[in-house]
Amino acid sequence: MGRLNQKITVITGAATGIGEATANVFAEEGAVVICADVDEFQVRKTAEDIKSKDGTAEAYHLDVSSEESVKKFAEYLKDTYGKIDVLFNNAGVDEQGGKVHEYPVELFDKIIAVDLRGTFLVSKYLIPLMLDNGGSIINNGSMSGHAADLDRSGYNAAKGGIINFTKAMAIDYARHGIRVNSLSPGTIETPLIDKLVGSKQDEMGQKFRDANRWITPMGRLGSPRDMAAVALFLASDDSAYVTGEDIKADGGIMAYTWPGKMLIEEDEWKKDTE
């Protein structure tokens, strides 16, 4: 405990899922957590939950795709705290859009605006608050930034961009004492999964989860707390000599080339996940 004692930490997309879990874990480790999200109601719940457990947190309504919104946020942080120590660029959206020739331009623009441009904007305007004291930046990538998904080229492009953008940031700011790394989750049990494929109670949602447990070597979906633990490592001094890296936390999916034996011995492989 106390690995982030009194560290000023900013988490975007903190209303639900990975962001919410990370906000709680950071608070448990002694951080002052600024929870930012476009969902004003839910992000307040995140902050109130932390405070109910004697943690230190506040909520801030932020649209990471809006330069004006991000600039106002940076000004608020400067006036209120003077600096920040940790930034977790976690905010993101995802949606299937079809094959590239069918993909709606407005959907592609939306995903790039929130996921990739949002990471750029928040970094651009908050990094000045880290230049004098150093710190850690974590960008939320994805296994979908390393390999492609059917009908989700916009998300693949955004997350692939974030992973390489992370490396650029790392070399830009290493001599300023700012470490920059990315975290690439696999399939994580979050409200975003419910939105994309259906809940556990829906037939398609259950089929999706069963299929993911089957193809994931560890035999389960990840949890938001699993991701929060990796984010804590990257935020803390435990990773003091780590920068420019992408950590995949995907239960082993990216470790194999194709699920050959799983297909051939389907029944046996599936039994291991039951």
The alpha carbon of residue 202 and the mean position of all alpha carbons in its chain are separated, in whole angstroms, by 25
Count other Cβ atoms within 10 Å, centred on residue 214.
16
Strand ranges of the sheet holding 32-37, from the earlier edge strand across to the other edge:
56-61, 32-37, 8-12, 86-89, 135-140, 178-185, 246-249
Task: Kindly name the residue from 60, 76, 125, 155 that is annotated as catalytic.
Answer: 155
The torsion angles phi and psi of 178, rounded to 5 degrees, stand at -105, 120
Instruction: Say if residue 139 is exposed, middle or buried (CB neighbours under 10 Å; 0-12, 13-18, 19+).
Output: buried
d(CA 183, CA 142): 7
Q: Is 155 a catalytic residue?
A: yes
Tokens 């692939």 found at: 160
The torsion angles phi and psi of 209, rounded to 5 degrees, stand at -65, -40
The DSSP letter of residue 35 is E
Tokens 């979050």 found at: 190
Catalytic residue positions? 155
